[in-house]
Amino acid sequence: MAQVLWSGRLEEKPEAEAFAFESSISVDSRLAQEDIAGSRAHVAMLVERGIIPAEAARAIDEELKRIAAELASGKLAIDQNAEDIHSFIEGVLTERLGDAGRMVHAGRSRNDQVAVDLRLYLKRVVPEIAEEIRATCETLLTVAEQHLETVMPGYTHLQRAQPVSLAHHLTAWTAGLVRDRERFLDALSRLDECPLGSGALATTTLALDREAVARSLGFPQPTVNSMDSVADRDFALELAGAAAILATHLSRFCEDIIIWATEEFGFIDLAEQWSTGSSIMPQKKNPDFAELIRGKAGRQIGNLVSLLTLLKGLPYAYDRDLQEDKEALFDALDTSRATLRMFRPMIATARFRKDRMEAACFGGFLEATDVAEYLVRKGLPFRKAHEVAAQVVRDCVAAGQRSIAERTLADLRSRSDLFDADLYEVIRPAAALRNRSRSGGPAPQAVTAQIAELRRRLG
């Protein structure tokens, strides 16, 4: 027969296998320190309100501190046969203190207890993930600063489109990560309310002081409604959402990297440490880390979908289904952290091949838009300028030429007498970059301003 701490009116206990099915200890063990912090705040308030005697409260607080230290040092192991972390800690307390231990749960339910534990845990862990994102942004921006003039093709439809710089591309990635960080921190600001005192769903007849408990746990205020407090998992949805969006970003960046690492592109040379060999093909250097980070996006989207599906049919207020929230939520946060910690050094140690990037700017007629805009500056309506430039590209293709620069001025003038020798300067990739100096654009000084703005947003 299984270990059940409080069976209430029930006389029969579940079989061991059924009990194991119910148990969440393997997942919620990581909430141990938060569970103890919540209990200590609750007990301090109970004694303040005259609900339990001072002597018992002192003994409980001492013992909870001891249990926290023993768990941290490994002297006390969490019993994997316990039902959950809440019953394990209350069980140890009661085993050690007898009746004093039996006082701690007055005015409380595991429903508000698990809700406060989760919020305390997230208040600790989410800033750590925000910091991982900030550090990743900093790495990208530092590499970007070294490549303000490294010209490369920008792509649409994965076809060469217009020249950009590597700095512009890396700053584009960073802009997404900066929003990711804000999303995590935004979710944190909304979950910063204390659910303790909500009880099972309808508070309690005992004269608890919810404000005092909230304050002592570092929450600015208690939650508004006790039924919402035990039913609400919006914070899990928001964070799994933030994690899924982050994973989607990292997946797209890794897709770029995987393409760049091909022999055909050759834009990036990943460090050997961040590549893998093949068990059969001796020559291989595969971008497995980038592929795995891309693959984790599937799992992260799965975590979000799991949580949404878990919640959508639940009647108010608490249902045991909610116990299933933790695995997906913890995995979403763990995976966010793990992927960022792989992505960052992979970028920091990569070698970007300027020669290959620059060479790729020739041969794809990336200068065609610049030719059209040159004609616009000379007074031609854009739609006509677009047609002239298209005709010039057709002429090049027919003549087997790979760049508009290969046309003579006479060739060009046969299509428009607005062409002059200054065109050849305008269509050099470096000039194409410099001339795109609008805010947001790829010109070195424009990217420098973007880098400064993103750093400002990172605080």
Active-site positions read 157, 278
Q: What does the per-residue mask of binding to ligand ARG show for 268-307, with x meaning CB under 6 A?
A: ----------------------------------------
Stretch of 58-66, 108-116, 220-228, 253-261 lying at the interface with ligand ARG (CB under 6 A)? 108-116
Instruction: Annotate 112-157 with DSSP letters as a single string.
Output: HHHHHHHHHHHHHHHHHHHHHHHHHHHHHHHHHHTTTT-EEEEEET
End-to-end Cα spacing for the chain: 55
Question: Is 29 one of the binding residues for ligand ARG (CB under 6 A)?
Answer: no
The Cβ of residue 262 has, within 10 Å, a number of other Cβ atoms equal to 11
Interface residue with ligand ARG among 34, 84, 90, 193 (CB under 6 A) is 84
Question: Is 114 one of the binding residues for ligand ARG (CB under 6 A)?
Answer: yes
DSSP code at position 421: T
β-pairing verdict for 268-269 and 159-165: unpaired
> What Cα–Cα distance (Å) separates residue 419 from each residue in 175, 279, 366, 373?
39, 58, 18, 12
Contacts of 46 (CB under 8 A, 6+ apart): 52, 57, 103, 104, 106, 107, 208
Which of 163/195 has CB closer to ligand ARG?
195
Stretch of 157-165, 214-222, 275-283, 317-325 lying at the interface with ligand ARG (CB under 6 A)? 317-325
**Closest approach of ligand ARG to the CB of residue 165, in Å:** 50
CA-closest candidate to residue 255, choices 241, 265, 240: 265
CA-closest candidate to residue 272, choices 340, 338, 351: 351
**Closest approach of ligand ARG to the CB of residue 36, in Å:** 16
Which of 269/319 has CB closer to ligand ARG?
319
What residue type is assigned to position 288 of the chain?
D
β-pairing verdict for 351-352 and 268-269: antiparallel
Stretch of 69-77, 109-117, 144-152, 203-211 lying at the interface with ligand ARG (CB under 6 A)? 109-117
Interface residue with ligand ARG among 40, 42, 105, 110 (CB under 6 A) is 110
Is the peptide bond preceding residue 37 cis, with omega within 30 degrees of 0? no
**Closest approach of ligand ARG to the CB of residue 239, in Å:** 17
Interface residue with ligand ARG among 322, 357, 361, 368 (CB under 6 A) is 322
**Closest approach of ligand ARG to the CB of residue 43, in Å:** 19
**Closest approach of ligand ARG to the CB of residue 175, in Å:** 38
Which of 320/377 has CB closer to ligand ARG?
320
The Cβ of residue 76 has, within 10 Å, a number of other Cβ atoms equal to 17
Question: Is 111 one of the binding residues for ligand ARG (CB under 6 A)?
Answer: yes
User: Angle 234-260/110-145 helices, nearest 10 degrees?
Assistant: 30
Which of 28/256 has CB closer to ligand ARG?
28
3-class DSSP state of 159: strand
Interface residue with ligand ARG among 65, 320, 384, 413 (CB under 6 A) is 320
The whole-angstrom distance between residue 252's C-alpha and the CA centroid of its chain comes to 13
**Closest approach of ligand ARG to the CB of residue 162, in Å:** 53
Give me the residues that bind ligand ARG (CB under 6 A), please.
24, 28, 84, 110-111, 114, 318, 320, 322-323
